[in-house]
Amino acid sequence: MGPAPTAAPCPPPPGALQGVALCALLLAGWALSLAPLLREEALQLADLGWALPLVTLRTWLCTGVFICAHDAMHGVLAPGRPRLNDALGAICAGLYAAFSFRALRAAHHLHHAAPASSADPDWHDGAHPGPVRWFLAFQRRYLRWWQVAIIAVVFNIGQLGFGLGALDLWLLVAAPALLSSVQLFIFGTYLPHHEGPRPFADQHRARSSGAPTWWSLLSCFHFGYHLAHHRFPFVPWWGLPAAERHLRAQGLS
């Protein structure tokens, strides 16, 4: 006896606030997790024992902030409210790494139009499909000099204007953003789109991880259910487990 039939995914209704509420929670967590920067004493190497779990938490929160920007690119962060949707998307993209939301959105829609091909801005250079070279090409394609300049200015303001320690800034600001970019690349680009022994199911040229829901959430906010995302781009991140179950029930994932 096969899996029970499941309802086909549908977009969130106009005016739905679940995405906005979850985005607000993630942004609040992101901001509150910066509180150790306000300590009177700067971090020392001896503090790494308690700092590393915080770095892990902040990495996950940074990933969540980017995923909110991603949902905004599809118009599902605040469905039916384009101004609010785009404003939140711009805030999340800017806080993540001084990204331009409009530029990211344009590139992401190109990715959906021609996934895992030479026309896909997320694809490797055609000659180096290994994860390291692919990741470096990925970074060069998206990181602009002005983003680096903005980040450098923020660091200098933090150190010179507010007296924050360099180790504090590297551990609590820079490291989570860098580790998050690796997390997003591995679970959201490389694993779903690399060409392996198992052929892609269809023209979306993506595969889902098959991970349990709890691990899917922790690893990349369900972005590992990538075939489900490409087939149902109108489903927000928190709805991807149901979309994945629907594909599995249909024998499509």
Residues sharing a CB contact under 8 Å with residue 81, sequence separation 6 or more, in sequence order: 14, 15
Same domain membership, residue 144 and residue 83: yes
What's the pLDDT score for residue 103? 95
Same domain membership, residue 207 and residue 159: no
pLDDT tens figures, 88-145: 999 999 999 999 999 999 999 999 999 999 999 999 988 888 999 999 998 988 988 8
Same domain membership, residue 244 and residue 170: no
Q: Are 66 and 142 in contact (CB under 8 A)?
A: no
- The whole-angstrom separation of Cα 185 and Cα 100 is 18
Amino acid at 171: L
- The whole-angstrom separation of Cα 71 and Cα 74 is 5
What are the b/e assignments for 65-103, b being 16+ CB within 10 Å? bbbbbbbbbbbbbbbebeeebbebbbbbbbbbbbbebee
Taking alpha carbons only, the member of 113, 120, 117 closest to residue 141 is 120
Inside any domain, residue 189: no
CA dist list (Å): 129 to 14, 40, 45, 121, 179: 40, 47, 37, 14, 20
pLDDT tens figures, 56-95: 999 999 999 999 999 999 999 999 999 999 999 999 999 9
What's the pLDDT score for residue 237? 97
Q: If you average pLDDT over residues 183-207, what whole number do you get?
A: 90
User: Residue 236 sits in which domain range?
Assistant: 203-253
Same domain membership, residue 210 and residue 174: no
Same domain membership, residue 25 and residue 147: yes
- The whole-angstrom separation of Cα 20 and Cα 85 is 8
- Report the chain's C-alpha Rg in angstroms: 19
pLDDT above 70: residue 5: no
Same domain membership, residue 116 and residue 218: no
What's the pLDDT score for residue 36? 82
Same domain membership, residue 132 and residue 246: no
Same domain membership, residue 213 and residue 170: no
Considering 182, 215, 245, which residue would you say is the last residue of a domain?
A: 182
Inside any domain, residue 238: yes
Q: Are 109 and 119 in contact (CB under 8 A)?
A: no
Question: Domain tally for the chain?
Answer: 2
Q: Are 65 and 27 in contact (CB under 8 A)?
A: yes
Amino acid at 108: H
